[in-house]
Copies of this chain bind each other. A is one copy, B any other.
Amino acid sequence: MFFGSDNTAGVSAKVMAALAAANDGFAGGYGNDELTQKVEKQLGELFEHDVAVALVSTGTAANALALSCLVEPYGAVICHAESHIVVDECGAPEFYSGGAKLVTEAGYGAKLTPQIVAGMLERVGRLVPHHVKPQAVSLTQATEAGTIYSAEEITAISSLAHERGLRVHMDGARFANAVAALGCAPAEITWKAGVDVLCFGATKAGAMAAEAVIAFDPEIAEELSYRRKRAGHLISKHRFLAAQWLGFLGNGHWLELAGHANAMAARLADGISKSGVGRLAFPVEGNELLVTLPKVVDLRLKEAGAVYHEWPTHGICVDPLPGEDEVFIRLVTSFATTAEDADTFLSHLKA
């Protein structure tokens, strides 16, 4: 029962097969190969838009690279206090951008709203040049709390951002889960909703180490290319990075994988709700659940072999907060989670 993170799963069989198939003969290095061209074309088609693409091997690299193309060193990124770029990337956005500032605010379910963004813009960037210059808003889709922005919610924030001269970044480490959940076209919740650059993650969803920075303004391509190389993220045998994407995207495999993960999360959520044990902190919309559990139940589950992490409540407006006899935990499902695992978890929850 591994619910610690979606990255504890391995690689989907189809992605492994694509890697094996790519290992045939010689190919140009650094992206000068046919598979890379094919992926770039395919991503353009998937998003129904001209795109500049930079494939990299981690989500942190993707986010930091993307943001470094959107903000100057004296700029600021408006983002949620508990976003991955703020909390879990050891300052990578500051490093890549040359020291730009992440300006943060709390928000329910790890989501920003136009009101929250407007409030931040009110207090930052007003006093030129003493304040940093807000230049980007960053949204996480699906969020770190397992919630999902609707196309309307994204559009509302993007409109405000664009009006004020800011661009919009989307951390899509779990973008596949969001698309699978919403059942929409990828375009609907990206460029059509005002997103300027998407970091599309394949790793958590079933690839080995494959993330893509996808810029809907292709003019960013040169800068992306230089910055990626300079960051040590231009993979030399690049065909193997491309191959993962081809395996991941082919025949809708990515939506299958993400759909399964979401279904397993829903199964857990449903079971938890019905059990009367513990409380779900937010609607479970993707493949993550934040749950308040009695400590005795937590102990019982761990003894039964369930693996998951305690989680901070900071910044996400959990109401009510866990009591003294409770713990706040995160459960994450993946393409590799089985219904049996979920059911075993639920049986121990109730027992």
Q: Is A291 an interface residue (CB 8 A)?
A: no
A8-B27 contact given A94-B94, A229-B129, CB 8 Å threshold: yes
Q: Is A209 an interface residue (CB 8 A)?
A: yes
User: Which residues 60-118 of A have a CB within 8 angstroms of B?
Assistant: 60-65, 72-74, 76, 87-92, 94-102
Contact assessment for A89 and B29 in the assembled complex, using a CB-CB cutoff below 8 Å: no
User: Which residues 16-63 of A have a CB within 8 angstroms of B?
Assistant: 16, 19-20, 22-30, 56-63
Q: Which 6 A/B pairs are nearest by Cβ-Cβ distance? A: A61-B232, A94-B99, A74-B226, A98-B98, A60-B232, A2-B26
Interface size on A, residues (CB 8 A): 82
Q: Which residues of A contact B (CB under 8 A)?
A: 2, 4-5, 7-11, 16, 19-20, 22-30, 56-65, 72-74, 76, 87-92, 94-102, 123, 127-133, 203-204, 208-209, 222-223, 225-237, 240-241, 307, 312, 314, 336
A89-B8 contact given A57-B57, A94-B100, CB 8 Å threshold: no
Contact assessment for B229 and A89 in the assembled complex, using a CB-CB cutoff below 8 Å: yes
Give chain B residues whose Cβ lies under 8 Å from the Cβ of A23: 10-11, 16
Contact assessment for B20 and A8 in the assembled complex, using a CB-CB cutoff below 8 Å: no
Contact assessment for B231 and A92 in the assembled complex, using a CB-CB cutoff below 8 Å: yes
- 21 residue pairs of the A-B complex, CB under 8 angstroms, read A7-B236, A10-B26, A11-B23, A26-B307, A58-B236, A63-B232, A73-B98, A74-B230, A76-B91, A88-B131, A90-B130, A90-B131, A91-B132, A91-B230, A92-B230, A92-B232, A97-B99, A129-B230, A133-B226, A208-B240, A233-B233
Give chain B residues whose Cβ lies under 8 Å from the Cβ of A64: 232
Contact assessment for B225 and A128 in the assembled complex, using a CB-CB cutoff below 8 Å: yes
Contact assessment for B26 and A336 in the assembled complex, using a CB-CB cutoff below 8 Å: yes
The majority secondary structure among interface residues of chain A is: loop
| Closest CB in chain B relative to A125 CB, distance in Å | 10
- Name the contact of A91 in the complex, choosing from B20, B73, B307 (C-beta under 8 A): B73
Give chain B residues whose Cβ lies under 8 Å from the Cβ of A101: 91, 94, 102
Quick one: closest B residue to A25, CB to CB? B10
A91-B99 contact given A27-B8, A225-B128, A229-B129, CB 8 Å threshold: yes
Give chain B residues whose Cβ lies under 8 Å from the Cβ of A204: 236
